[in-house]
Amino acid sequence: MGASHPEPNPTNFTGQDALFIEDFAVLCTFGATEDGGVDRQAGTPADGQQRAWFSQLLRQNDFHVEFDHVGNQFGLKEFVPGAPYVVVGSHLDSQPTAGRYDGAYGVLAAAHAAFRLVEEVEQGLRSPRYNLAVVNWFNEEGSRFQPSMMGSSVYTGKLPLEKALETTDAAGITVRDALETIGCLGTGQGPEAAFAAEIHIEQGRGMERAGVTIGVVDSNWAANKYGFRVHGEQAHTGSTLIEDRKDALLGASMLVVAARQIADAHPGVVHTSVGQLKVYPNSPVVVPSQVELLLDLRSADEEVLAQADAELHAHLAKIEKAANVRIEKFFSHCWPVTPYQIEGVELAEKSAADLGLSNSRVKTLAGHDSTNMKDIVPTVMLFVPSVEGISHNTREFTRDEDLIAGVSMLTETVGRLLEGALAEDKPVL
Amino acid sequence: MGASHPEPNPTNFTGQDALFIEDFAVLCTFGATEDGGVDRQAGTPADGQQRAWFSQLLRQNDFHVEFDHVGNQFGLKEFVPGAPYVVVGSHLDSQPTAGRYDGAYGVLAAAHAAFRLVEEVEQGLRSPRYNLAVVNWFNEEGSRFQPSMMGSSVYTGKLPLEKALETTDAAGITVRDALETIGCLGTGQGPEAAFAAEIHIEQGRGMERAGVTIGVVDSNWAANKYGFRVHGEQAHTGSTLIEDRKDALLGASMLVVAARQIADAHPGVVHTSVGQLKVYPNSPVVVPSQVELLLDLRSADEEVLAQADAELHAHLAKIEKAANVRIEKFFSHCWPVTPYQIEGVELAEKSAADLGLSNSRVKTLAGHDSTNMKDIVPTVMLFVPSVEGISHNTREFTRDEDLIAGVSMLTETVGRLLEGALAEDKPVL
């Protein structure tokens, strides 16, 4: 099956816009899948290839390339010696079979916005008060190495460096070894941030339905992510009496079904899912003795999430009894609803209005590296529409014209941050 | 954790019985797990080791060793040139983490019964009308290569040889390559069978509860085994609206729960289970696009099984709608209730009575190689008790004295078959 959407086509554009689409078409080739998606999990050879290409692109545009101690890739441009940086970017890594846009668009858009801003500075059109850093955060997806948003979590001090580097994938390979293998393990903590910005595809249908080109993210949904281990007992699927069984897969399946029941009980306001489930020994005629699964609950309303969480925990006790199993919680990672700084939201809205781009405030249901960055510096998060809201799927698609509008929007927003629009002692604009 | 049951102890026995327990203790070392079980899936190095040792044991006792074209291992003793064989044995392969007794006991019991019978023949105590073949059937378990009972299915003409040899495991290795690697791929179809016998642990609690030493199997439960592929669509677990999701894992989980509901609706007479479930792409924040699972339904009553099967198929349609998925049946393997030949059952009952062993007729819920053999020749299937009925589990256990009683029982039964007790023109006994 070929791609169901048109390929990026630079001939529909001119100048800097055509260059962006050209570069994006090249970026789509790394880890390309037959059906028009990509497979470039963090620290894999495909990730190494795209990082090498991205370093080259940055250097060709006179940016200094640096990897920090957890593999975050920075392109640095110093305007004001010693000043902190406006850090703009996203992530190039992907889920196992993913779309081309998730993360990758935001990294390339950041680079092109930065290239344009350097030109504007050189032409005397902008007077920077900060320096400029393009970033490709390491392992945002968390598919190969958990947790997700690893690079930005270490950068923002939420995850200890050593813990991140010692994390192993399913084959026992550490983050440290994976980064060394692709030549992306640097030293140091990266540039000091003053502000941050990120642009990303929406991964939902809201903006497409509303006909809006730019989403200005004002907060993230709260999320509770859990790892559960269901303990049963191995037995013969044919001969063992039903009453004697301790079927770990039955317990796990009841948990998957319960998670959906919780979402259905809070229509539109709670999202739940199980994305990963591992069965042991996973043999045809053996009642499974152990199942591990990762379950997440999300809501824009913390009280509703607390209610959903209580329902989940009530289900656990019932399932333990019904399936004759024991359920252990081996992992939890929870984050609250947190707003993006209102001054950043307003700055973005003004920028969009000045550019004549339709826009509205939106919330992000997914986590992003900017979710981390906003906890340490004022951060602007922008969305462009996703056709049909398809996400984490090779059929993910955003139209070229929306990509282009997003680059203009990001350029303008980051340009204003660079000039000190949100500085404490900011000049009257 | 150490073994929770006593080790085989030859010092409690004398003569041939002590020799049997000694050999069994050696057999337990191949692919031994730390907790007293074994891990020796078909065609693995551990399977190769035990097969090499078993060949040696057979040759030391003057049996001719031969592998057929699908890796079945035969130990042949010719008494009557050109006559067909009484084929007695079971399987040495195991589930990934399994008990020591399942299959392995039956193969070693067959060998020792055969050694004893050769001695009896040499001493003039038996007058054989047939030849004698000990067999270790290839891949009864079906954990690495599906379907199960592969070697006896090819031998009995139910499975084409080429189809079996081209079957691949999860790593893409074929049966042919696996058998060549362990040096067990022979030529030819093995010896011609006149009669067959197998002894096995019960894998249930019935005999232990009834205090019976020997079970004479009079029929097998009917079974419908299905492979289902649930098709959904990959999406982001956080951002995708619940109503837009096509969650293959939700559909699969509903199927696992439905299977148990069917068993609960027919208490004691229907067994259902899902032993294997594979999720794709199985990544933390991705709604799974595809899940494959193997589901089995079993009953001693074909009408009840047909009713349960209809319930399952009704569930499929409901689940497709409820989870917004499509369910494809990619595999089915069904067998009816079939009796073991009544003359074999009666012969076994007489043998047990003459030996003073308590016995009763039982049914087998699990499939066995004898389930295949009985469809081509009169076949006797015997059970010894399983402590607590624990099966496909490293804690599987049968007491040494029951093992010994079973070897005596098998020797007597096979001795009578060898002398023509079930021959068409049988002499008056």
pLDDT tens string B328-383: 999 998 989 989 999 999 999 999 999 999 999 999 988 899 999 999 999 999 99
DSSP state of B214: E
Say if B365 is an interface residue toward chain A (CB within 8 Å). yes
Round to whole Å and give the CA distance between B284 and A331: 12
pLDDT exceeds cutoff 80 at A1: no
pLDDT tens string B206-224: 999 999 999 999 999 999 9
Task: For residue A236, list chain B residues with Cβ-Cβ distance below 8 A.
Answer: 203, 365-366, 391-392
3-state secondary structure of A267: coil
Amino acid B73: pLDDT: 98
The residues pairing with A428 across neighbouring beta strands, listed in sequence order, are none
Q: Pairing between strand A73-77 and A64-67?
A: antiparallel
Q: Which of A129, A95, A178 is nearest to A425 (CA)?
A: A129
Q: Which of B198, B216, B199 is nearest to B207 (CA)?
A: B216
Least confident of A2-6, A312-316, B195-199, B210-214: A2-6
Query: What CA–CA distances, in Å, run from B311 to A89, B231, B266, B317?
Result: 54, 21, 11, 10
A284/B148 Cβ within 8 A = yes
Rg (CA), chain B: 23
Query: What CA–CA distances, in Å, run from A33 to A99, B291, B372?
Result: 9, 20, 45
Task: For residue B240, list chain A residues with Cβ-Cβ distance below 8 A.
Answer: 203-204, 271, 389, 391
DSSP state of B289: S
pLDDT tens string B286-309: 999 999 999 999 999 999 999 999
3-state secondary structure of B414: helix
For residue A248, the chain B residue with the least C-alpha distance is B275
Q: Tell me how many residue pairs between chain A and chain B have CB atoms under 8 A apart.
A: 245
Classify the complex by whether its ipTM is higher than 0.85, answering yes or no. Answer: no
pLDDT exceeds cutoff 90 at B426: no
What are the tokens at A403? 């990509």
Q: How many helices (H) and strands (E) does chain A have?
A: 12, 14
Minimum distance, in Å, between the CA of residue B180 and any CA atom of chain A: 24
Interface test with A, best of B226, B239, B291 (most A CBs within 10 A): B239
Round to whole Å and give the CA distance between A375 and A371: 7
Least confident of A35-44, A167-176, A354-363, B231-240: B231-240
Say if B273 is an interface residue toward chain A (CB within 8 Å). yes
One of 3.30.70.360, 3.90.1150.170, 3.90.550.10, 3.40.50.11540 is the CATH number of A222-335, namely 3.30.70.360
pLDDT exceeds cutoff 80 at B249: yes
- Which residue in the block uniquely carries the two structure tokens 């020792």? B112
Say if A83 is an interface residue toward chain B (CB within 8 Å). no
Round to whole Å and give the CA distance between A173 and A153: 20
DSSP state of A271: E
Provide the Cα torsion B94, B291, A273, B272; round to 10°.
Answer: -60
Count of all residues that appear for chain A in the document:
429
Mean pLDDT value of segment B27-41: 95
Round to whole Å and give the CA distance between B71 and B165: 10
Q: Which residue did the predictor score with more confidence, B170 or B417?
A: B417
Amino acid B427: pLDDT: 52
3-state secondary structure of A116: helix
Residue ranges covered by each domain of chain A: 10-221+338-418, 222-335
A382 φ/ψ angles, rounded to the nearest 5 degrees: -120, 150
The upper half-sphere exposure of residue A227, i.e. CA atoms within 13 Å in the direction of its Cβ, equals 11
Mean pLDDT value of segment A311-336: 95
Say if A170 is an interface residue toward chain B (CB within 8 Å). no
3-state secondary structure of B322: helix
Q: Specify whether the CB–CB gap between A102 and A403 falls below 8 A.
A: no
CATH class of B10-221+338-418: alpha beta
A15 φ/ψ angles, rounded to the nearest 5 degrees: 55, -135
Minimum distance, in Å, between the CA of residue B87 and any CA atom of chain A: 25
Of A148, A202, A244, the CB nearest to B284: A148
Residue A77's identity, in one-letter code, is: K
Instruction: Please name the residues in contact with A293: beta carbons below 8 A apart, sequence gap of 6 or more.
Output: A227, A228, A230, A252, A255, A256, A274, A276, A277, A278
pLDDT exceeds cutoff 60 at B2: no
Say if A276 is an interface residue toward chain B (CB within 8 Å). yes
Q: Which of B227, B195, B349, B206 is nearest to B295 (CA)?
A: B227
Q: Which of A403, A375, A391 is nearest to A220 (CA)?
A: A375
Round to whole Å and give the CA distance between B205 and A287: 17
Query: What CA–CA distances, in Å, run from A392 to A39, A224, A395?
Result: 11, 20, 8
B236/A203 Cβ within 8 A = yes
Say if B52 is an interface residue toward chain A (CB within 8 Å). no
pLDDT tens string A149-194: 999 999 999 999 999 999 999 899 999 999 999 999 999 999 999 9
Minimum distance, in Å, between the CA of residue A115 and any CA atom of chain B: 31
pLDDT exceeds cutoff 60 at B145: yes
Round to whole Å and give the CA distance between A189 and A210: 41
Round to whole Å and give the CA distance between B102 and B398: 10
Q: Specify whether the CB–CB gap between B341 and B417 falls below 8 A.
A: no
A4 φ/ψ angles, rounded to the nearest 5 degrees: -90, 0
Amino acid A335: pLDDT: 87
Is the fold of B10-221+338-418 the same as that of B222-335? no
Percent of chain A with pLDDT over 90: 90
Round to whole Å and give the CA distance between B148 and B276: 14
Q: How many helices (H) and strands (E) does chain B have?
A: 12, 14
Round to whole Å and give the CA distance between B220 and B361: 12
Round to whole Å and give the CA distance between B174 and B145: 9
